[in-house]
């Protein structure tokens, strides 16, 4: 066990309309009875400002799902890390597998985005994870360690950041790796971070993500070096998100 306070971060992806703020309010109410766990919700950009006001003074932090590496400029449709900071965000997810696969984001792009998040004074949640073909070819450790090396910028050596291990084949599929498979990757991630950053590497939270649900959260959260969860689908419903948060507390 790493002994770090666990973080449960909800990634709403391209889901949520104004009416979803009701779910957020229910999460805030439910989270009042929880201690010993950090919580965050990453809404779509259209809800970000309203979500920021709703979450203000609550125990749930606001997070972004992505950002541009530059601070401002002619980048139509993009949002910068400083803009996330401006509305009170604490975290920004970078390198989610959907961004890597659908927007061609390389490790170098992810690293630049993570640097931008640090520049803005926020905490990047840097995602890594293998595809099913890579797992079947026994390349999981090779792929994930290479993503980690390429996606975590040098500047992170003195800053707070989070790594999320998300096997691509487990995201939104209802399939999860065995606890032994999760333990193997998280041990490798911890070792790699300690090798690169020394004692600082022991302070980095390693989240597991991919079909985390109320009924499997407790088991996944008990795996050594699992310091929380990045939750997609189950973070859209307050009851499910709170049940996962309780399992991590
Ligand atoms: C995710 O997309 O980060 C994720 C973990 O999704 P889900 O929980 O729906 O598998």
- pTM for the structure as a whole: 0.98
pLDDT at 72 over 90: yes
What is the separation of C-alpha 120 from the centre of its chain, rounded to a whole number of angstroms?
17
Query: How many other C-beta atoms can be found within 10 angstroms of the C-beta atom of residue 137?
Result: 12
Q: Which domain holds residue 46?
A: 17-67+90-172+208-248
Domain membership of residue 201 (yes or no) is no
pLDDT tens digits along 80-104: 999 999 999 999 999 999 999 999 9
Closest CA to 31 of 10, 3, 14: 10
Q: Which atom of ligand 1 is nearest to the CA of 170?
A: 10
Q: Is 166 a catalytic residue?
A: yes
Residue 96 confidence (pLDDT): 98
Q: Is 8 helix (H, G, I), strand (E, B) or coil?
A: strand
Domain membership of residue 225 (yes or no) is yes
Rounded to whole angstroms, how far apart are CA atoms 183 and 144? 13
CATH number at residue 120: 3.20.20.70
Question: Of 14, 172, 229, 241, which is best to mutate to test ligand 1, by the most ligand atoms within 8 angstroms of its C-beta?
Answer: 172
Q: Is 231 in the pocket of ligand 1 (CB under 6 A)?
A: yes
pLDDT at 30 over 80: yes
Rounded to whole angstroms, how far apart are CA atoms 113 and 93? 9
Q: Is 200 a catalytic residue?
A: no
**Ligand 1 center from residue 211 Cα (angstroms):** 6
Question: Of 8, 9, 11, which is best to mutate to test ligand 1, by the most ligand atoms within 8 angstroms of its C-beta?
Answer: 11
Mean pLDDT of the chain: 97
pLDDT tens digits along 182-222: 999 999 999 999 999 999 999 999 999 999 999 999 999 99
**Ligand 1 center from residue 212 Cα (angstroms):** 7
Work out the burial of residue 200: count CB atoms within 10 Å of its CB; fewer than 13 is exposed, 13-18 middle, 19 or more buried.
middle
Polymer length of the chain: 249
Q: Total structural domains in the chain? A: 1
What residues are paired with 30 via a beta bridge? none
Domain membership of residue 197 (yes or no) is no
Domain membership of residue 106 (yes or no) is yes
Q: To which H or E segment does residue 60 belong?
A: strand 60-64
Q: Is 125 in the pocket of ligand 1 (CB under 6 A)?
A: no
Rounded to whole angstroms, how far apart are CA atoms 216 and 10? 16
pLDDT band at 1 (very low <50, low <70, confident <90, very high): low
Q: Which atom of ligand 1 is nearest to the CA of 172?
A: 10
Domain membership of residue 186 (yes or no) is no
Residue 243 confidence (pLDDT): 98
Domain membership of residue 240 (yes or no) is yes
Domain membership of residue 81 (yes or no) is no
Domain membership of residue 34 (yes or no) is yes
Rounded to whole angstroms, how far apart are CA atoms 195 and 118? 21
Average pLDDT over residues 98-111: 98
pLDDT band at 248 (very low <50, low <70, confident <90, very high): very high
pLDDT band at 2 (very low <50, low <70, confident <90, very high): confident
Half-sphere exposure of residue 248: CA atoms within 13 angstroms, side-chain side: 30
**Percentage of the chain surpassing pLDDT 90?**
98
């Amino acid at each position: 066990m790493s002994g770090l306070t666990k973080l449960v971060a909800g990634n709403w992806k391209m889901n949520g309309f104004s009416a979803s703020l009701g779910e957020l309010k229910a999460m805030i109410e439910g989270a009042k009875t929880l201690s010993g766990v950090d919580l965050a919700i990453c809404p779509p950009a259209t809800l970000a400002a309203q979500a920021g006001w709703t979450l203000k003074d609550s125990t749930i932090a606001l997070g972004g799902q992505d950002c541009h590496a530059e601070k401002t400029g002619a980048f139509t449709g993009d949002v910068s890390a400083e803009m996330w900071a401006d509305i009170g965000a604490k975290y920004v997810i970078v390198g989610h597998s959907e961004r890597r696969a659908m927007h061609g984001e390389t490790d170098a792009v992810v690293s630049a985005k993570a640097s931008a998040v640090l520049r803005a004074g926020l905490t990047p949640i840097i995602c890594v994870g293998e595809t099913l073909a890579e797992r079947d070819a026994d390349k999981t450790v090779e792929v994930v360690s290479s993503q980690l090396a390429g996606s975590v910028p040098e500047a992170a050596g003195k800053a707070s950041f989070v790594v999320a291990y998300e096997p691509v084949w487990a995201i939104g599929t209802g399939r999860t790796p065995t606890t032994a498979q999760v333990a193997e990757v998280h041990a490798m991630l911890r070792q790699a971070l300690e090798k690169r950053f020394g004692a600082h590497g022991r302070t980095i939270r390693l989240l597991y993500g991919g079909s985390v649900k109320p009924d499997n959260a407790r088991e996944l959260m008990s795996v050594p070096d699992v310091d929380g969860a990045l939750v997609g689908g189950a973070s859209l419903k307050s009851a499910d998100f709170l049940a996962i948060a309780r399992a991590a507390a």
